[in-house]
Chains A and B, each alone.
Chain A
Amino acid sequence: MLSRVAESVYWMNRQIERAENVARAVETTLGLVLEGTISPGRLWSALVCTFGDEADFWARYGLADQANVISFLAIDQANANSIASCLQAARENARTVRDMISTAMWQEINKAHLAVRAAAAANVEIEHPREFLEEVKRASQLISGVADATMSHGEAWHFARLGRLVERADKTSRVLDVEHYFQPAAVPLARPASGAAAFGSGPGAEIAAWNQPAAVPLARPASGAAAFGSGPGAEIAAWNQPAAVPLARPASGAAAFGSGPGAEIAAWNQPAAVPLARPASGAGGDGDGDAVRWSAVLESASALEMYRKVHGAISRRRVADFLIFDREFPRAMHFCLIKAEESLLAITGGAKGAYSNPAEQLLGRLRSHLNYGAIDEILGAEPGLHGFIDSFQSRLNEASDAIYATFFALRPVGGGEPAPAAAAGSARRP
C-alpha cells in the first residue's frame, strides 16, 4: 500500500486511541475527586502532567481546576492532544484514506468528530462531562470494532492495529505512572522536553529523590530564592519559565513553588528537603487510600474487573505487574507490544525472533524486554517504577520513529529502487 496512506491509517488510529485514553483518565480523575483523599488541585494537575502537555496548559490556563483541565483535555482545539483535536485529526486522516477504509468505519469516525465538535460548541460538557466522555470511549471502541468486522485484515488493518497498540502501550504506561504525580513530592513536577537528561534512564539519585514523598517541600523554604539561585544555569532557566509551573499558582499553598527539573533537583539539594528515612522501594504501602488510588489507576485502563480475576486484592506491586506484564489483558503494555509486533511482522512478512529493519528490531527488543522482565526487579532496584516507565516510553518512541523511517518516509529517488521495468513492445514516439 502507499506509504502516505499507511502513515495516515497508522496515525488515525493512534489519534482515536489517544482520545479514548484521555477520556478514560478524565473520568477516573472525576471519580477520585469525589472520593476525596487527594486534593482536587493536585489531582487535576497530575492529570495534565500525565499526558505531558503541562507547559502548554500552564501557558494558557491560570488554575488547574476541573473546568480548566477538562476544557484543556477535552475540547481545546489549541491543544493538539485534546479529545477534540485528536478526533479532528483522525477524521482528516480518515478523509485522506477514505478509499482505504470501509464506509462503516468512516461513518463512525465522522460521527464521533461531529459529536465532539457539537459538544465543544455547546460547552455544557465541561460541567457535565461524564456522558460526553462515555460517548468518546464508546465511539473509539465502535470504530475499532467496526474496523475489525468490516476491513480486510490485510496490510491497512495491520497498520491500524499497530498504531492503536503503540499508542495504547504508551498511554497505559502513563496512567500507571500517575502515582508519581499524585505524590506531594511531585507537585510542581513536569517532564519537560528540554533538560530531560536528569530523568528517564538518567542517574538513579535524582529519580529516587523524585519518588520520595518528602523530597520536595510543599512550600518553598524561607531561604528559598537564594538557595535555588545557586543551582546550575540551566536549572535557573527552567525555574524562570512560568509556563512550567503546575499546581494552582496563586490559589494553593504550593503556589510559590517553582518547577522544572531544576527546581526539584535544587530542592533535593536543600538540606531541609532530604527525607530522614527513605521508605522501601516505591512510595508508600498498600494502605486504604492507596487501594483507592490504585483501583482508580486500574479503572483508567478499564482493567479493574480483569485485574480482580487475576489478582484479587489490590496492591501497588500487583497493579504494576498486571498493567506492565500481563500477556492477556488488552491494555497491558506487554499485550500491546506482543500484538503490535504481530502486526508489524504481518506487514513485513518477517519472522519473530529475527529482524530485517529497525522497526522490527526496536519493537521486538522492547517486547522481549517485557517477556523476561519481573515486577520485583523494577520495584526493588533503581531507578524504580517511574524510571522504568520513563525508559519504556522513550524506547517506545524510538520504535515509533523507526516505524516512520521504515515505512512512511518518502524515499528519495535513487538508490535501492527497482530499475525501470522493461518497456518491451512500447514504441517510443519521436
Chain B
Amino acid sequence: MDLQAYKTEGFHDELFDGALRPRPGAELLVGRLAAASDGELAERQRAADRMLLTMGITFNVYGHEAGTEKIWPFDIVPRVIEAAEWSVIERGLTQRIRALNLFIDDVYNRRQIVADGVVPDWLVDSGRCFRGPCAGLKPPRGVWCHITGTDLVRGADGVIYVLEDNLRTPSGVSYVLENREVMKRTFPQLFTGQRISPVEDYPEKLRAMLEYVAPPQARDPTVVVLTPGIYNSAYFEHSFLARQMGVELVQGSDLVVQGDVVFMRTTHGLERVDVIYRRIDDDFLDPLAFRDDSLVGVPGLMRAYRAGHVALVNAPGTGIADDKAVYAYVPEIIRYYLGEDAIIPNVPTFVCGEPAQCDHVLSRLGEFVVKPANESGGYGIVLGPRATQEQLEECRGRIKANPRNYVAQPMLSLSRVPTVVGDSLEGRHVDLRPFILYGEDIFVLPGGLTRVALVKGSLVVNSSQGGGSKDTWVVHEGRR
C-alpha cells in the first residue's frame, strides 16, 4: 500500500517522523505495512474483529442494560516504542511507584511529609479516597500499591508525560495480553524478524507478587481474585487473570469471615484464604468498615486485614495517591522521599484547592482541560477549548462550589499512531498505560496498553467513550 498518502498533519506520530520516515524501531513494521496488498489491511482487520467476537473479549458499559457487553475495538497497527526510550520510561515508573508507596505509608502512619510542609494537610485529609480506618496499618511486606496502571501521553513536543496515576484497581492488562495474541494470529508476518519484548509472563509475575505479599504465617498461600460479578465493566479481565494465574475467582458472597480469618465456601466446606486480589473499590469492600449498603463486599474483611490474617491487593487507602490534586505534588513527593528529580515529568497542573491557582484557572477557563480529582474512566472531564460557553459556565460553577475537587491542565496535543480506516491508514490520538507490579521488587510490563481514540480528531481514549486499543511493541535493535 502507498504510505506516502499518509498524513501526520503536524502531530507527533509514533511511527513516522515529519518527513514520513519510519522512526527508530518502526522500520521493519513500516516496511511490512508498505508491502501489504490492496484490501489486505481491511481483511486482516475483519479477521481480528471476528476473533475478538469468538473469544468473547468484551467489556460492559455502565448505564446500559445490565449485561450489555461490547467488543472493545482493536486496531491491528501496533504502536512501537524503541527499547532505549522504554528503558527510560521503565526507570521513571519504578521511581514514581517507589515514591508513591512511601507516601501512602507515610500519610497513614507518621505523616512526616505533611509535618514537613511538602504536602498540605488539607489536601490529604479532604481527599475523597483518604481512608481514616487505614490509619496505623502496616500492610504485609510494607507494600500498599502492588498494582499500578500509570497513564502516559506524548505531547506535540515529543516528550512523554505522566497524565494520571491509577493506584486503586487499574484495569486493562488483560487486553495487553489478548491484543498480543490476536496480533500473532491475524498478522503473524508483522512479527517476523523483530525482537519484541514479550508480555506473556505477566500472569506469572502477578501470581509471584501475590504470593510474596501473603501474611508471613501463610505457607503455600491461597490466592483469590475478588470480583463484583459479571456485570462489572472489567469482569472479563477479572476472570482472565484468575484463569491465567490458576486461582479462584470469587464474589463477595463466596467469602466469609470467622474469627478474623477469611474463608471461601467450597463444595467441601470452608477453605482459608490468604491473599485477595480485590477488584472491588475500597468503598464496597467491607460494609462493616466502609459503605454499609455494599452488597458485593465481605463483612468483617477489614478486621481480618487489620489482624494481619489476610493480604489485600491493592491495600485499602491507596486511592489517596491517585487523587488528581495529589498528583500535582508527585514531583515534590519523589524529591522528598528519594532525593531525585522525577524522570518522567508531570503535565503542568493547577490545583483549584489552592486559591491563587484557582483564580488563574477561572480567569482562563477556556484554555484548560478541567478534571474532577477522583473520577476515572474519563467521566466529568471538560475540554475548555472545545466546550460551549454554557458548558464552561457550568464548569465554573462546579469549581467554585468545590474547588478541592478540581484540577486543570493545558490541553495536550496527544501523539498519534496510524490506524486502519477502511483499507487505508489515518492518524489517531493515543495514550499509554503501562502496568507496574510491586512485590519483592518492582516489575514494569514492557509496553502496556495503548488506547486509541478511534473517532477522527477525538482525544478521548476511554473504552467507555468510543476508544479502542492497539498492541504495543517494545522493539529492540537488530533483527532476530
> Using a CB–CB distance below 8 Å, which chain A residues touch chain B?
1-6, 92, 95-96, 98-100, 103, 106-107, 110-111, 114, 155, 159, 347, 407, 410-411, 413, 417-421, 423-430
Determine the chain B residues whose CB is within 8 A of the CB of A3 once the complex forms: 254, 265-267
Q: Does B325 contact A (CB under 8 A)?
A: no
Secondary structure dominating the interface of B: mixed
Interface residues of B in 292-334 (CB under 8 A from A): 306-309
- Given A99-B248, A114-B53, A419-B259, verify A410-B265 contact (CB < 8 Å): yes
- Given A92-B67, A99-B248, A425-B217, verify A106-B56 contact (CB < 8 Å): yes
Q: State A92–B239 Cα separation when bound (angstroms).
A: 13
Q: State A337–B270 Cα separation when bound (angstroms).
A: 29
Docked-complex contact A99 and B243, CB < 8 angstroms: yes
Tell which of A107, A411, A420, A430 touches B265, judged by Cβ atoms closer than 8 Å.
Answer: A411
A-B residue pairs in contact (CB < 8 Å), sample of 10: A2-B264, A4-B254, A92-B230, A95-B235, A95-B239, A103-B55, A103-B243, A107-B55, A421-B272, A428-B307
Docked-complex contact A2 and B242, CB < 8 angstroms: no
Docked-complex contact A110 and B267, CB < 8 angstroms: no
- Shortest Cβ distance from A408 into B: residue: B267
Docked-complex contact B261 and A111, CB < 8 angstroms: no
Q: Does B258 contact A (CB under 8 A)?
A: yes
Q: Does B449 contact A (CB under 8 A)?
A: no
Determine the chain A residues whose CB is within 8 A of the CB of B240 once the complex forms: 98-99
Tell which of B56, B137, B235, B272 touches A110, judged by Cβ atoms closer than 8 Å.
Answer: B56
Q: How far is the CB of A348 from chain B (nearest CB, A)?
A: 9
Q: State A110–B51 Cα separation when bound (angstroms).
A: 12
Q: Does B31 contact A (CB under 8 A)?
A: no
Q: State A424–B260 Cα separation when bound (angstroms).
A: 13
Determine the chain A residues whose CB is within 8 A of the CB of B267 once the complex forms: 1-3, 6, 155, 159, 347, 407
Q: How far is the CB of A80 from chain B (nearest CB, A)?
A: 16
> Known contacts A92-B230, A426-B217; can you find 19 more A-B pairs with CB under 8 A?
A2-B250, A2-B267, A4-B254, A5-B249, A95-B230, A98-B239, A99-B239, A114-B53, A114-B54, A407-B267, A417-B258, A417-B270, A418-B270, A420-B258, A423-B261, A423-B307, A425-B217, A428-B307, A429-B136
Q: 10 tightest CB-CB pairs across the interface, nearest first? A: A420-B259, A98-B239, A99-B242, A99-B243, A425-B217, A99-B249, A110-B56, A426-B308, A420-B261, A99-B239
Determine the chain B residues whose CB is within 8 A of the CB of A428 once the complex forms: 307-308
Q: Does B457 contact A (CB under 8 A)?
A: no
Determine the chain A residues whose CB is within 8 A of the CB of B250 once the complex forms: 2
Determine the chain B residues whose CB is within 8 A of the CB of A411 once the complex forms: 265
Determine the chain B residues whose CB is within 8 A of the CB of A410 once the complex forms: 253, 265
Q: State A421–B259 Cα separation when bound (angstroms).
A: 8
> Using a CB–CB distance below 8 Å, which chain B residues touch chain A?
53-56, 67, 136-138, 215-217, 225, 229-230, 235-236, 239-240, 242-243, 247-251, 253-254, 256, 258-261, 263-267, 269-270, 272, 306-309
Q: State A387–B35 Cα separation when bound (angstroms).
A: 73
Q: How far is the CB of A170 from chain B (nearest CB, A)?
A: 22
Docked-complex contact B243 and A98, CB < 8 angstroms: yes
Q: How far is the CB of A275 from chain B (nearest CB, A)?
A: 52
Determine the chain A residues whose CB is within 8 A of the CB of B307 once the complex forms: 423, 426, 428-429
Determine the chain B residues whose CB is within 8 A of the CB of A425 once the complex forms: 216-217
Q: State A4–B56 Cα separation when bound (angstroms).
A: 22
Tell which of B138, B236, B254 touches A2, judged by Cβ atoms closer than 8 Å.
Answer: B254
Q: State A427–B215 Cα separation when bound (angstroms).
A: 11
- Given A110-B54, A428-B307, A429-B136, verify A413-B256 contact (CB < 8 Å): yes
Determine the chain B residues whose CB is within 8 A of the CB of A429 once the complex forms: 136-138, 306-308
Q: State A106–B242 Cα separation when bound (angstroms).
A: 15
Q: How far is the CB of B432 from chain A (nearest CB, A)?
A: 27
- Shortest Cβ distance from A101 into B: residue: B243
Q: State A174–B272 Cα separation when bound (angstroms).
A: 44
Q: Which of B136, B239, B267 has the most CB of A within 10 A?
A: B267
Q: Which of B54, B56, B229, B265 has the most CB of A within 10 A?
A: B56
Q: State A428–B253 Cα separation when bound (angstroms).
A: 26
Determine the chain A residues whose CB is within 8 A of the CB of B67 once the complex forms: 92
- Shortest Cβ distance from A156 into B: residue: B267
Q: How far is the CB of B296 from chain A (nearest CB, A)?
A: 13
- Shortest Cβ distance from B248 into A: residue: A2
Q: Which of B138, B225, B239, B309 has the most CB of A within 10 A?
A: B239
Q: How far is the CB of B268 from chain A (nearest CB, A)?
A: 8
Determine the chain B residues whose CB is within 8 A of the CB of A2 once the complex forms: 248, 250, 254, 264-267
- Given A410-B253, A423-B261, verify A96-B266 contact (CB < 8 Å): no
Determine the chain B residues whose CB is within 8 A of the CB of A407 once the complex forms: 267
Determine the chain B residues whose CB is within 8 A of the CB of A413 once the complex forms: 256, 258
- Shortest Cβ distance from A7 into B: residue: B267
